[in-house]
Chains A and B, each alone.
Chain A
Amino acid sequence: MANFFPRWTNFLPLKIAICAGAVAGGAVLAFSYYATPKTLAAGYMPSQPIPFSHKIHVDQLGLDCRYCHSFVDVAGHSNVPSNNTCWNCHQHVQKDSPKLQPLRDRMDPLLKHPDFGKPIEWVRIHKTPDYVKFDHSAHLNRGISCQSCHGRVDQMEVVYQQHSLSMGWCLECHNAPEKHLRPLEEVYNLNYSDADVTKYTKDAGIKTTEDLGLKLKEHWQIAPKASCATCHH
């Protein structure tokens, strides 16, 4: 009787096993990567009920972050402006813009719109899980800028999430805060760069923002904690 299986089949089961293992392993790796906040959350750019442009308001008009996010440096939660903040200007400015119609419906009593007096529901972009307690004021008052977490919002037509906001990403900064520390005067200046450093030091050795950050870390006794209860309680 002829040899039914040729010689090369001797290693076939092993090859199949290796291939299957590689495919399974690859699938696990691919899923693990896909499930990280880096791919799931970063880049999230939902459309808002009113297409508010940070670029126009901050970059072109020069509004400070705190005009609208008024409690960001006193409270843990950064408030989104209430309708009356928008209405302060927009009852006079851009009175006919169709983009602002939802605001007028809610604020102008003359329109008698059913939504009058109701809040606007903004879509949440940056979200930490419920078991994470992030405090805005703790960071801003110690020299961490809005930009470190939110990116160049002043350049965004439509706001999106730039960073993953994952725990690993938080810890990167908690372990090396000098990369992000800046003088308190520059916290709301999203345009801060190495060129600004000389305003704050006469030391020729300090050239970059990171150099200045290192100095501030020493001087201000910045020692960010990395134990669990810092953010989870």
Chain B
Amino acid sequence: MSKRIWQHPEVPADETTVSWRGLGQLEDTPAFRTWMEREFPQGVAEMANEGDAETSRRSFLKLMGASTALAGFGMAACRRPESYIVPYNKAPEWVIPGKATYYASSMPRAAGATPLVVTTFEGRPTKVTANSLHPDAAGTDAFAQASVLDLYSPSRSRKVLKQGQPAPRADFEAVIAGLAADKSAKIGFVFGHDVSPTRARLVKELTAKFSAAKFYAYEALEGSASKVLGDGVRAVADFSKADRILSIDCDFASLDPQGPVTPFFDRRKPEGKTYSAKPDAAGMNRLYSIESAFSMTGGMADHRLRVRPGQLLEITALIAQRLQIAVPTVPINPADKTLKWVTAMVDDLVASKGKSLVLAGSRLPQPFHVLVAAINEKLGNVGKDKPLHYVRTDAQGLGDLVSLKTDLENGTVETLVLLTPANPVLDAPADLKFGEALAKAKTVIHLGGRSDATAHASTWHVPASHYLESWSDARSANGVYTVVQPMILPLYGECVSELELLSALLTDDGKLVTGEGEGGTPSPAHDAVKKTFEAIGGKGSEPWRKLLREGFHAGSTYEVAEVKVPDTAVAALPASPDKTFDVVFATDASVYDGRWIDNGWLQEAPDPITKQSWDNAALIAPQTAKDMGIYDEIVALETWNGATGPDGEGEHRTAPMIKVKVNGTEIEIPVMISFGQAENTIVIPLGYGQGFDGEDKFNRNAAGSAPASHVGQVGVNSGFNAYPVRTAATAYFATGATVEKTSKRYPIAVVQEHHAMYGRALAREISTIDSGDHKGDFAEQLHNVKLQGNDGHAPPNISLYKQQDRAGKPLLSDPLHQWAMTIDLSSCMGCNACLVACQSENNIPIVGKQQLAKGREMHWIRMDRYYAVDKGNDFDPGNPALVPQPVACVQCESAPCETVCPVNATVHTEDGLNAMAYNRCIGTRYCANNCPYKARRFNFFDYNKRNPLVAHNLYKGPFGEKQVGEAPHLQRNPNVTVRMRGVMEKCTYCVQRLKDAKIRQKRGQKQEALLAGKASPDSAVTTATLRIPVDSVKVACQEACPAGAISFGNKLDGDKSAMMRAKGIERNYDLLNYIGTAPRTSYLARVKNPNEKMPDHQWIGKATIHMH
């Protein structure tokens, strides 16, 4: 029962560009074809076997008969159950039942706090978004968006543990009181790398009180830059001033921030940030990227060079050498192509002296930071009003993990207080054997949100308050003082915040006060923060109130630090021996270093590059796989289950496992193809494999070090732990690895081929230069954007349906608002922030790995990621262009879904939305079958009510475990229906926000009447009274986007709206324009800004331009 197939024009024989989303599409496997032709894979919508189907049909009829008969007895139950309205006893100030209250706060993070505005409903925080007033505001990323779920996580730690067993909190309080009384205590504190002025102040007080106290900072993925730049010194980039940017394995746009990133994306738009100027390539920046595996930043790059990590230092040294910096110690012997590439690139950097920026990945070893500091100095990029400056943070005088280990072993530290968000027992370099050192301490107190491996190895584990529950402060990237204020008292009474713990140690009696004090006095953390702020922002209630209202103190920044360029005679790194592999221990986009493993939204969000969910896998380049003789096996993972037929495919999709031996240890891990990755390089994301239960069939807990108790329901049985093969010397990458094939296969969930769309040149790309291929210069390419792909030759489509009713009135009749959206592929990097933001705004459930593998993911935004390469590319055919494209419902004016719904559950609203009436939907799925964008999602189960993470739970029907009334349900947005089983759902442009804005606007009528002093029937109401102000309503994805890629607004505002200006420029095109759906969401083609002196310039920006 395949859907009616639109006859798409065949691919012409002279097509030179190859574009694909997944390996199956590249190899054109039968499995992929089936994904394409159906809205859901075969088997998903059917009974597992004939027997089941037969029984079910019969039992269905039986049950229906029985229920009709029973209906007579049940009449009395038709009266609705009594329900109650429970108002407050004493109404709190500011709370209006049913209305959101917004507070400014921030999320403390290692690279600088993320300033946030938190939405709360009757005290429940439900959604976070960027605080756009903040000078360092740069949108949000997926982690910030998902952090609100952690507050309500069912696997959140909520009890004090002693040696891993629940213990009364009073016992722990006694320990703290004892510590506070002992001024000679040999006590050590381990912080994270986030910067908190109050903590820095309390550290000084602690030093004064405890003469033997020691302080350390540790996070798993920490870098070594501060060892080069100086204690507490960081480099901060100002992307607005950088014309030319070189990233050396630095994912500054996503996982490795180097400063507020929004200005970088603003300069990716040739028409300027708000689309108000004429397109001009001169205003755009140019990004060069040298990296081993595709990062989000590398995908944005104008020129990208793939280099195995073992050779990165050589290339960096080559760049330095071209700039006349002596690098006597590193052997430089690059390939001819590489030399040409680097030479042309360095010339470009030199031509923009003082306006260029070179960034090294913060996790790279020390020599890189030395060379990059010298390069930036040489290029004159450092200083005031320059693209880069150095700042001195409050985090000074903190020891590292190695010194902590020494101090633990020689008894300098007897009581250790672990306040870091890291999990050192799991994630410390394996050769440090930190777990053994930890056992030498007399008392270890671990404060954390999860009862992880470190919690179980500590004497005391104390549940930590979430940042939305506690008072604190932080500094953003440039050091702007930013407050962290609680939205709610800790959900669980035993939770303690970092500052509360430190404050208790500073009191004489050591009394631990958490949440709020007796009689409702504020937490000691509040008083501590207020005291710190008084020194920064002044005394009195006015500055303090301003701080709480705006979330930051304007004008406060870090002091600028002077950095002397160190000696560039750096130690060369060991060369990679022949026939061995380099291994990169990558930062993971879902779990980061493992701390987010229990966050369902992040786990289910597909990795931006590999599109894998719920697990990690070793990634290798296709040519490497062919050389290893494993390519065909991996491709086989994309096909149907041999000849046995399609039933039960989904969750049975597997990947072959390989054994990677490195640093004398080995790890077995499934392997996947990753395009654009350097050859002979294996990328293994870190942070997975923390706990396994009886459902795990791969015996991953063989050593007994990863029991299920170390993780929650979300993270259990997820992925493979790569930390045991990582050493201190190879914290980021290792060389000399060997690989063996195994006969095992592991089931993986990859969404890259789900919801595949027909059509060519879906995500479009052009370049700013004429590269001699008859496609013309920038102006001509801009002009031809609308003619790329099928749109160049497909005849216009004639619709059977009219846009007017029988009386001739337009069906889209609202004269006030007609909503529309643009998505700018030039600034979209594909980072998932919008996807997770949508999930938190619209109550979208997670479905779990098995369901996701079947193609049942519920994300309303599908983050497509296309690769494309020209067949003629002779520079590096293994380095395809990467173009991400978020696709949600595009709100077609002639929507194919609406005409096929038998119950009118999906219909158009007067203001141009393709609305879904969930309560009307009977689940025929005809609409999804007819959607050319595959933007509709179906609730195959009641994912909200039945917990999909309990094994086999969904299939137990009414006997399954329910999760109603549990903490995660407190996160729900009360203005959005929670959908149940059998209902279709999709994006409706956050219709709840649009309605709210309209209703708020209409209240203005009353205000005007009151002000005019006239009787209300005499007060005039105009369009201006009723139409909401230009661009004043923002949808959740738009608000979350750090790149400003999404514009949303009212078409009737005309050019006053940024969205309409974007629609007016030539880059604007409709997705699948030739089928005539007239979508309201349109896309702006990506613009690449190549350098015509580069050897690869003619392949840049050409991903789709040759498509017919």
Query: Is A25 close to B, CB under 8 A?
Result: no
Q: Is the CB of B90 within 8 A of A71?
A: no
**A227 pairs with B907, CB closer than 8 A:** yes
Contact A137 B1003 (CB under 8 A): yes
21 A-B residue pairs with CB within 8 Å? A34-B75, A46-B82, A71-B98, A74-B99, A81-B87, A82-B89, A120-B87, A122-B85, A124-B83, A124-B84, A124-B85, A127-B80, A141-B1003, A184-B1016, A185-B1016, A228-B916, A228-B920, A229-B915, A230-B909, A232-B915, A232-B977
Determine which of B915, B976, B1016 lies in contact with A227 in the assembled complex, contact meaning CB atoms within 8 Å. Answer: B915
Judged by a CB distance under 8 angstroms, whether A138 is at the interface is yes
Q: Which residues of A lie under 8 Å from residue B995 when comparing CB positions?
A: 133, 135, 229-230, 233
**Residues B1002 and A142 in contact, CB atoms below 8 Å apart:** yes
- Which A residues touch B1020, using CB under 8 A? 219
Proximity string of chain B (63-81) to chain A, C-beta cutoff 8 Å, 1 when within and 0 when not: 0000000000001001110
B1017 near A219 with CB under 8 A, answer yes
Known contacts A41-B80, A83-B90, A122-B85; 4 further A-B pairs (Cβ under 8 A): A137-B1003, A142-B1002, A229-B915, A232-B977
Q: Which residues of B contact A83 (CB under 8 A)?
A: 87-90
| B75 CB contacts on chain A under 8 angstroms | 34
Contact with B along A79-100 (1 / 0, CB 8 A): 1111111000000000000000
- Judge whether A8 is part of the interface by a CB distance below 8 angstroms: no
Cα distance A123–B84 in the bound complex, in angstroms: 4
Q: Which of chain B's residues have a CB closer than 8 A to the CB of A46?
A: 82
User: Which residues of B sit under 8 angstroms from A85, Cβ to Cβ?
Assistant: 91
Given contacts A40-B80, A124-B83, contact A233 B99 (CB under 8 A): no
Contact B87 A225 (CB under 8 A): no
Interchain CB contact under 8 A, B89 and A233:
no
CB of A75 within 8 Å of the partner chain: yes
**How far does the alpha carbon of A121 sit from the alpha carbon of B80 in the complex, in Å?**
17
Contact of A82 among B88, B908, B991 (CB under 8 A): B88
- Chain A, 161-205, CB within 8 A of any chain B CB: 183-185, 199-201
A183-B1016, A232-B917, A233-B976 known; A40+B90 contact, CB < 8 A: no
Assembled-state Cα–Cα distance A117/B88 (Å): 9
Closest A residue to B75 by beta carbon equals: A34
Cβ of B917: which chain A residues have Cβ within 8 Å of it? 228-229, 232
For residue B864, give the distance in angstroms from its CB to the closest CB of chain A: 26
B29 within 8 Å of A (CB atoms): no
* C-alpha spacing A127/B86, complex, angstroms: 14
- A121 to B97 alpha-carbon distance, docked (Å): 16
Contacts of A230 in B (CB 8 A): 909, 995
CB distance from A102 to the nearest CB of B (A): 12
Instruction: For B991, list chain A residues within 8 Å (CB).
Output: 229, 233
- Report yes or no: B1016 in contact with A40, Cβ–Cβ below 8 A: no
For the complex, give the distance between the alpha carbons of A220 and B75 in Å: 46
Judged by a CB distance under 8 angstroms, whether A77 is at the interface is yes
Contacts of A228 in B (CB 8 A): 905, 907, 909, 915-917, 920
Choose among A106, A221, A228, A229 the residue with the greatest number of B CB atoms under 10 Å from its CB.
Answer: A229
Whether B1032 is near chain A, meaning CB under 8 Å from some CB there, is no
Chain B positions within 8 Å of A, measured between CB atoms, are: 75, 78-80, 82-91, 96-99, 814, 905, 907-910, 913, 915-920, 975-977, 988, 991-992, 995, 999, 1002-1003, 1005-1006, 1009, 1015-1017, 1020-1021, 1023, 1026
User: Which residues on B sit within 8 Å (CB–CB) of A129?
Assistant: 919
Indicate whether A216 reaches chain B with its CB closer than 8 angstroms. yes
Contacts of A76 in B (CB 8 A): 98-99, 999
Given contacts A123-B82, A233-B988, contact A131 B919 (CB under 8 A): yes
Is A212 part of the binding interface, using a Cβ–Cβ cutoff of 8 Å?
A: yes
Closest residue to A231 on the B side, CB-wise? B917
Write the nearest CB–CB distance from B937 to chain A, whole angstroms: 16
B951 CB to nearest chain A CB (Å): 30
Q: Is the CB of A84 within 8 A of B91?
A: yes
The contact of A119 among B79, B88, B977, B1009, by CB within 8 Å, is B88
Cβ–Cβ < 8 Å partners of B1021 in chain A: 219-221
Q: Are A212 and B87 also in contact (CB < 8 A) when A131-B977, A184-B1009 are? A: no
Q: Give chain B residues whose Cβ lies under 8 Å from the Cβ of A127.
A: 80, 83
Q: Are B89 and A84 in contact (CB under 8 A)?
A: yes
B910 neighbours in A (Cβ, 8 Å): 225, 227
Give the chain B neighbours of A107 by CB distance below 8 A.
Answer: 89
B91 partner residues in chain A, CB cutoff 8 A:
82, 84-85
The chain A residue with its CB closest to the CB of B82 is: A123
Q: Is the CB of A233 within 8 A of B87?
A: no
A36 to chain B, nearest CB (A): 11
Note all chain B residues with C-beta closer than 8 A to A232.
915, 917-920, 977
Against B, the Cβ 8 Å flags (1 = close, 0 = not) of A23-64 are 000000000001100001100001000000000000000000
CA distance A1 to B378 in the complex (A): 126
Evaluate contact between B1002 and A74: CB separation under 8 angstroms: no
Bound together, the chains give a CA A67 to CA B918 distance in angstroms of 37
- When C-beta atoms are compared, the residue in chain B nearest to A49 turns out to be B84
Residues from chain A with Cβ under 8 Å of B80 in the complex: 40-41, 127
Beta-carbon contact of A183 and B1017 below 8 Å: yes
Contact A122 B98 (CB under 8 A): no
Chain B residues within an 8 Å CB radius of A40: 78-80
Pick from B86, B88, B99, B918: contact of A131, CB under 8 Å: B918
CB pair B1006 A141 closer than 8 Å = yes
Report how far A84 CA is from B88 CA in the complex, Å: 9
Residues of chain B lying within 8 A (CB to CB) of residue A137: 999, 1003
Residues of chain B with a CB closer than 8 A to A215's CB? 1017
A113 in contact (CB, < 8 A) = no
B contact residues around A121 at 8 Å (CB): 84-86
A118 interface hit (Cβ, 8 Å) = yes
Residues on B with beta carbons closer than 8 Å to the beta carbon of A79: 87, 96-98
Q: Is the CB of A212 within 8 A of B988?
A: no
In the docked arrangement, what's the CA distance between A183 and B1020, Å? Answer: 13
Partner of B1015, one of A81, A183, A221: A183
Check A135 against B999 for contact (C-beta < 8 Å).
Answer: yes
Residue of A nearest to B917 (CB): A228
Assembled-state Cα–Cα distance A229/B82 (Å): 28
Smallest CB-CB A-B distances: 9 pairs: A77-B98, A229-B915, A184-B1016, A228-B917, A131-B919, A82-B91, A227-B909, A82-B88, A121-B84
The answer to whether B89 and A118 touch across the interface, beta carbons within 8 angstroms, is yes
B98 touches A227 (CB 8 A): no
- A143 contacts across to B, CB distance below 8 A: 1016
Report Cα–Cα, A97/B304, bound state, in Å.
Answer: 82
Q: Write the chain A residue with the least CB distance to B84.
A: A121
Q: B915, A233: Cβ atoms under 8 Å?
A: yes
**B97, A75: Cβ atoms closer than 8 Å:** yes
Q: Which residues of A contact B1017 (CB under 8 A)?
A: 183, 200-201, 212, 215-216, 219
* Docked complex Cα distance between A175 and B795 (Å): 42
Smallest Cβ distance from B130 to chain A, in angstroms?
A: 25
Q: Which residues of A contact B87 (CB under 8 A)?
A: 79-83, 119-120, 122
Residues of chain B lying within 8 A (CB to CB) of residue A123 = 82-85
B1026 touches which one: A74, A131, A221 (CB < 8 A)?
A: A221
Please state if B913 and A229 are interface contacts (CB–CB under 8 Å). Answer: yes
| Contact residues in B for A106 (Cβ distance below 8 Å) | 89
In Å, the complex CA distance between A81 and B992 comes to 26
Residue of A nearest to B1010 (CB): A184
**Is B82 touching A119 in the complex (CB atoms < 8 A)?**
no
The chain B residue sitting closest to A106, CB to CB, is B89
Docked Cα-Cα span, A138 to B991, in Å, equals: 16
Looking at the assembled complex, report how far the CB atom of A231 sits from the nearest CB atom of chain B, in whole angstroms. Answer: 9
A169 CA to B82 CA, complexed, in Å: 23
CB of B565 to closest CB in A, whole Å: 59
How far, in angstroms, from A117 to B89 measured CA to CA in the complex?
6
Q: How far is the CA of A225 from the CA of B816 in the complex (A)?
A: 12
Taking CB atoms, residues of chain A closer than 8 Å to B915 are: 227-229, 232-233
* A26 CB, min distance to chain B CBs, angstroms: 14
- Would you give the shortest CB distance from B185 to chain A, in whole angstroms? 42
| Shortest distance between the CB of A34 and any CB in chain B (Å) | 7
Of A124, A141, A201, A219, the contact of B1002 (CB 8 Å cutoff)? A141
The reply to whether A74 and B82 contact each other, CB–CB distance below 8 Å, is no
